[in-house]
């Protein structure tokens, strides 16, 4: 019997937890590598394209977490430009960890494609931006990873069919089970959605992933065991830092344990190579009941 499990891949979602500071961004890459994550991922937004004028000029809904007088100013403070992303990609490559970025709009997608990363992520919030998906489908050669948070099943089918129009789903599209909340209580994580995605789409997409916004690391192994070959978790140096994502993020100790446990689970998910393993034979010879 063959073990069909693929080695799990862990994405440390740094996002904008760098607080707009390149030194912190690089430190988080170092920490992600130290924790044995496979990917360090950021975000790229063109805020004036993404937000309406009213949204851009409105106050931040949680002033305590704001880095500007308006929501637009807050987002601009946290935004890194293309040259900074290029620098971060080079930094990742020097540390032998994969660089990636979530893109939120057409302009950001076109910019990040210039860097030729191994993978680009589509967040749940904009997986229905088909203008952006078209750019990623038709102008980019790497993997497109796409989260299905706050997405109904009809929309899922539409997205996958869109990539299939150009035969770009089976070899390039990785879809993620996700519940969009910060943080998400366990009863709303709905891990069996991974099984549903696997049952419905495993022959139509490259792989299935899990993007978790829950607390702790108790359930990520279960996500992997039922079919998620990619596990994405938000990552920060300090969960008490100012900002909306830190509270739902793992700190280095948590990420390190997550990577350790997933790799251990991968090693354990196999069948016995013989009815009595060598490690058991010693104990069998010593302990096994023998009829007199």
Give 8's pLDDT tier (boundaries 50, 70, 90). Answer: very high
Give 68's pLDDT tier (boundaries 50, 70, 90). Answer: confident
Residues sharing a CB contact under 8 Å with residue 89, sequence separation 6 or more, in sequence order:
99, 115, 117
Give 292's pLDDT tier (boundaries 50, 70, 90). Answer: confident
Mean pLDDT of the chain: 94
* pLDDT, position 243: 74
* pLDDT, position 258: 98
Average pLDDT, integer, range 176-181: 96
Q: Where are the domains of the chain?
A: 9-287
Average pLDDT, integer, range 132-143: 98
What is the per-residue burial (b if ≥16 Cβ within 10 Å, else e) of 105-131?
bbbbbbbbbebebebbbbbbebbebee
Tell me the pLDDT tens digit for each residue of 215-250: 999 999 999 999 999 999 999 998 888 777 887 899
Give 62's pLDDT tier (boundaries 50, 70, 90). Answer: confident
Tell me the pLDDT tens digit for each residue of 79-92: 999 999 999 999 99
Comparison of pLDDT for 110 and 66, the residue scoring more: 110
Average pLDDT, integer, range 131-146: 98
* pLDDT, position 241: 82
* pLDDT, position 3: 67
Residue pair 66/275 in contact (Cβ under 8 Å)? The answer is no
Supply φ then ψ for residue 274, to 5 degrees: -150, 160
Average pLDDT, integer, range 129-135: 98
| Correct CATH for 9-287 of 2.60.40.10, 3.40.50.2300, 3.20.20.70, 2.40.160.40 | 3.20.20.70
Average pLDDT, integer, range 42-62: 90
Give 167's pLDDT tier (boundaries 50, 70, 90). Answer: very high
Tell me the pLDDT tens digit for each residue of 255-279: 999 999 999 999 999 999 999 999 9
Q: Does 172 have pLDDT greater than 60?
A: yes
Mapped onto helix, strand or coil, the DSSP state of residue 183 is coil
Cβ–Cβ contacts within 10 Å for residue 134, how many?
A: 15
* pLDDT, position 1: 52
Q: Does 157 have pLDDT greater than 90?
A: yes
Q: Which helix (H) or strand (E) holds 14?
A: strand 9-15
Residue pair 244/15 in contact (Cβ under 8 Å)? The answer is no
Mapped onto helix, strand or coil, the DSSP state of residue 99 is strand
* pLDDT, position 72: 86
* pLDDT, position 4: 78
Comparison of pLDDT for 29 and 58, the residue scoring more: 29
Any long-range contacts for 152-156 (C-beta under 8 Å, 24+ apart)?
155/127, 155/128, 156/197, 156/201
* pLDDT, position 267: 95
Average pLDDT, integer, range 108-115: 98
pTM of the model as a whole: 0.94
Percent of the chain whose predicted confidence (pLDDT) is above 70: 99
């Amino acid at each position: 019997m063959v073990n069909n499990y693929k080695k799990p891949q862990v994405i440390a979602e740094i996002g904008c937890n760098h607080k707009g500071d390149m030194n912190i961004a690089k430190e988080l890459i170092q920490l992600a590598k130290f924790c044995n994550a496979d990917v360090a991922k950021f975000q790229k937004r063109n805020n004036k394209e993404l937000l309406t004028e009213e949204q851009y000029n409105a106050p931040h809904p949680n002033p305590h977490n704001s880095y500007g007088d308006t929501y637009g100013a807050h987002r601009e403070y946290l935004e890194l430009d293309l040259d900074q992303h290029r620098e971060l990609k080079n930094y990742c490559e020097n540390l032998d960890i994969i660089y990636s970025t979530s893109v939120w709009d057409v302009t950001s997608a076109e910019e990040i494609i210039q860097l030729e990363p191994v993978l680009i992520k589509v967040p749940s919030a904009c997986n229905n931006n088909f203008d952006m998906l078209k750019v990623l489908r038709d102008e980019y050669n790497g993997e497109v990873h796409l989260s299905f948070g706050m997405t109904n099943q009809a929309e899922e089918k539409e997205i996958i069919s869109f990539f299939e129009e150009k035969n770009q789903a089976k070899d390039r599209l990785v879809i993620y089970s996700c519940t969009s909340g910060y943080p998400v209580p366990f009863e709303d994580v709905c891990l069996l959605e991974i099984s549903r995605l696997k049952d419905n789409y495993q022959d139509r997409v490259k792989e299935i992933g899990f993007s978790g916004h829950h607390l702790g690391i108790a359930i990520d192994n279960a996500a992997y065991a039922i079919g998620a070959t990619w596990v994405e978790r938000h990552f920060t140096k300090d969960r008490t830092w100012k900002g909306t994502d830190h509270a739902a993020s793992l700190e280095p100790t948590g990420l390190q344990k997550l990577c350790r446990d997933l790799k251990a689970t991968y090693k354990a998910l196999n069948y016995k190579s013989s009815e009595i393993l060598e490690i058991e034979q010693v104990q069998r010879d010593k302990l096994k009941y023998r009829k007199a």
